[in-house]
Structure 1
Amino acid sequence: MADDQEADRFSARARRYANLGVSAGAFAARAGARRLVGGESADTARDLAQALGALKGPLMKVAQMMATIPEALPADYAEQLISLQSQAPPMGAAFVRRRMQAELGPDWRARFAEFDLAPAAAASLGQVHRAKGLEGEDLACKLQYPDMASTVEVDIGQLEFLLKFHRRMGPAIDASEIAIEIAARLREELDYEREAKLTRLYGAMLADRPRVRTPAVFEALSTRRLLTQEWLEGEPVTRFDRAEAATRNAIALGLFEAWWRPFSRFGIIHGDPHLGNYSVVMRGAEDAREVEAINLYDYGCVRIFPPTFVGGVVDLYRGLADGDESRVVHAYESWGFVNLSRATVDALNIWARFIYGPLTDDRVRTIADGVKPGEYGRREIAAVMQALKAQGGALKVPREFVFMDRAAIGLGGAFLRLGAELNFHRLFEDTIEGFEATALATRQAEALERVALA
């Protein structure tokens, strides 16, 4: 039986390599021909998106992660990739039955009062089914697609396929650590037992934040490849783009607490902050509704930072606010940047002042005054890259910086889309009040030990 399973895994990897080879080969042929005749890079970017999009699954997730990290890919490539849907074909009813039996045993169906074999949602690594527990609980069952471990390993190996194009462009940054970080997080996402622990961890970290709700985990109905949680009802955040200002601001406040509170108190972030991972709970009559809470979903991509990294975030904030250059440099070094010249620090400060601007500005404002939704940070990123390229060489970005920056961009973009106007300075001051790295280290260790992640 073990030999058969190994053969199946080998067969799955072989098929994946073959499909990747065909897609990459066709793309390379078109790109090479276009270079000979001086074709436009935008056409080449569209070909790359089509080649990867046809494969779906983890590689598409990797491509989209790369696309959200500044300068990890050329801008026209990133724009094409980020627009694609990272979604594999859904498993049919018969296949779902076999998968559920493999995870919970032959009597799996008797463990639910109801189970919808049609998926309620699908993503790159698995799909979600609605169900009811034997005591009437509303459940969300996330079932991983078959052969995902093999598929992920193949696709991680193909990161080099994306990075080749990055290196050819004479980039301002060295993306090698970015690739290592993405690979580590993607492997973690395969482990639903780990995600169950992280879900409980977030419930504990946000227990005193009534604006944010996290789902309960049903351990007896969960395995390494099946995660059963409480189904949290809510409305999509995108439905509130044109809502009253008070509603939009309340949603933004919930997003702020869901992200900054765990980071500033425990050194932990939700590394996938796109709007599909939140929903809004409303209360009251139809003509007088107000925000009760936001739901936070999907804990597969969670980053745990050393306390020194969080200390660097606070140091950079204080250094920029006080004009303390030595503290700013110390912050960058505590994140893992090395051999920093004055010119490099000046370049990094362009981005830092943009991200920290609303946090150091003590007034009610948007996250980026005068910036349109969808353009958050673009001008500043371009300025940083121009300044770095003028120095020659490529700045090596520490791996711990990758998801911190990605999450900050995602969160800022969400605030901008909502048109939220808050005093971000006072909110941030509240989250870091009395910050001490040693105290954070103690809280983090205790929290991780409680959920057996120590």
Structure 2
Amino acid sequence: MTELPRKAAARTARLAALPLGYAGRQALGLGKRLGGRSAESVANELQQRTAEQLFRTLGELKGGAMKFGQALSVLESALPEDLAAPYREHLTALQDSAPPMPTSTVREQLATHLGADWKDRLVWLDGAPTAAASIGQVHRGRWDDGSGAGERDVAVKVQYPGAGEALMSDLRQISRLARGVAPVFPGLDIKPLVAELQARAADELDYSLEAEAQAAYAEAFADHPQICVPDVVAVGEQVLVTEWMDSPYSLAHLIREGTREERDHYGEIFVRFLFEGPRRTGMLHADPHPGNFRVLPAPDGGLGRLGVLDFGAVARLEGGGMPPATGRLMRIALDNDDQSLVAGLRAEGFIKDRIEVDPQQVMTYLAPFVEPAAQERFTFTREWMREQFERVNDPRSEAFTLAMKLNLPTSYLLIHRTWIGAIGLLSQLDATAPFREILEESLPGFAD
């Protein structure tokens, strides 16, 4: 068996162990209940142990397993605190790191995808990666394009050999094993999340598409006082070279240790980027996990700009920006016009013909999106996020029943998941931001 198939088989075996481990813990839990333990305490212990196994496994794997883990990690703020605390370390590790590939493999990839003369341009390369994630890793280097302008520092993003095959194989396996993952996030439907990751996988593996998106963002934000996007220097099929960005840490660090001033400052910039990006580029950066957003302190050491990385997951929006209906519907909801809101949702395809809904229940269901815009400054917290998550995903609630009646049009799928992920990140960050003001400036239809 060659190296790649052997590694793929090992990944599959470890992923397959997740539901087996859950089944074993269920049997053990039954024995404890028969022994007198309360059902609630046994259930909490079961969920905790399942989560520890899940995130430990995902954190040690690449490919689709790592990508899936990163997608889940932004929802950490929705978990009950007594369940989230014991394995938060595994979750945050998924947001910033992964095991590196050997230096020899990196050099083989550079020769294959930048050409045999790659050393003439990439005159120095740090052997140790500065970052590693689901399908590739990043090295610092120095680039000389031969123009006489001299050398400049660059970031060299190198895709893992066989990443495409591993990514799709892992996602197929995770989709089949959704039952073993479900206990960690009760009420969250895992299969649609995996299906969306599968649909986007081809784009994320194509570094030329990523280079195109990043170059457009870099140009659009070139003179922005708060947001920095590194420009593209060179690109090959599985290698992407961009300008180097000096940053001591990402938003994941601020989630753990940030001051109130830092959380609010960089949280506000993140929201501005989320909505200004589509307006300036016609695209939505659709991977809002903290590791993609870097803190760039001011020259005097004070609060500075926010750097943005990783444009592999980008929604190319119809009409060249966010749908104007999004802003109009949010404004209608803020005005508490439930009848017009339902009519507008029907017109956009969120409510199918012949489906009857209670307009006031619709208003309640949309609270996670509308509440932050209902006041001048809104504070996103884990507690608020958990309340929204539990309310919408409790099978006994009216919101859960309503959710079964709603339809999410295809054109809104990635927008919806990005917003949910962004709200999760802001809740982890515990940030206060002028959400309404930003929508008035950048969301089409909101201020009309």
C-alpha deviations, 1:162-182, integer Å up to 9, x for none?
A: 433578999867665433212
The aligned residue for residue 114 of structure 1 is 124
The aligned residue for residue 338 of structure 1 is 352
The aligned residue for residue 303 of structure 1 is 315
CA contact (8 A) 2:143 2:151 kept: yes
The AA in structure 2 aligned to 1:121 is A
Distance 1:73 1:166 in 2: 14
- State the aligned residue count: 418
The aligned residue for residue 147 of structure 2 is none
Distance 1:262 1:297 in 2: 13
The aligned residue for residue 27 of structure 2 is 33
Q: Which moved more, 1:136-145 or 1:259-268?
A: 259-268
Q: 1:275 aligns with which of 276, 281, 290?
A: 290
The AA in structure 2 aligned to 1:329 is V
Is 1:255–2:249 an aligned residue pair?
no
Is 1:125–2:135 an aligned residue pair?
yes
The AA in structure 2 aligned to 1:124 is S
Shift of 1:227: 0.6
C-alpha deviations, 1:299-346, integer Å up to 9, x for none?
A: 111123334972332122111122222332245442645365324x54
The aligned residue for residue 432 of structure 1 is 443
**Structure 1: 5+ residue runs without aligned partners?**
438-454
Is 1:404–2:412 an aligned residue pair?
no
The aligned residue for residue 440 of structure 1 is none
1:40-439 paired onto structure 2 within 5 Å: 40=43, 41-42=46-47, 43-66=49-72, 68=74, 83=91, 85-86=93-94, 87-134=97-144, 135-165=150-180, 176-207=191-222, 209-219=224-234, 222-236=235-249, 237=251, 238=253, 243=259, 245=261, 249-264=264-279, 267-286=282-301, 289-291=302-304, 293-307=305-319, 310-333=323-346, 334=348, 336-338=350-352, 340-343=355-358, 346-361=360-375, 363=376, 365-368=377-380, 371=381, 374-386=382-394, 387-388=397-398, 391=401, 394=404, 398=408, 401-415=412-426, 420-432=431-443
**Structure 2: 5+ residue runs without aligned partners?**
34-41, 145-149
CA contact (8 A) 1:103 1:223 kept: yes
Distance 1:294 1:415 in 2: 14
Distance 1:223 1:49 in 2: 32
C-alpha deviations, 1:235-270, integer Å up to 9, x for none?
A: 43445965574x654433422221111235555321
The DSSP-based 3-state class of the residue aligned with 2:214 is helix
Q: TM-score, normalised by structure 2?
A: 0.78
The DSSP-based 3-state class of the residue aligned with 1:224 is coil
Distance 2:316 2:178 in 1: 26
CA contact (8 A) 2:229 2:307 kept: yes
CA contact (8 A) 2:297 2:303 kept: yes
The DSSP-based 3-state class of the residue aligned with 1:60 is helix
- CA change 1:166–1:143 in 2 (3 A) is closer
- CA change 1:396–1:427 in 2 (3 A) is closer
- CA change 1:160–1:313 in 2 (3 A) is same
- CA change 1:312–1:172 in 2 (3 A) is farther
The AA in structure 2 aligned to 1:407 is T
- CA change 1:315–1:330 in 2 (3 A) is farther
Q: Percent identity?
A: 26
Q: TM-score, normalised by structure 1?
A: 0.77
CA contact (8 A) 2:338 2:362 kept: no
The DSSP-based 3-state class of the residue aligned with 1:377 is helix
CA contact (8 A) 1:121 1:129 kept: yes
Shift of 1:403: 4.0
Q: CA RMSD in A?
A: 4.0
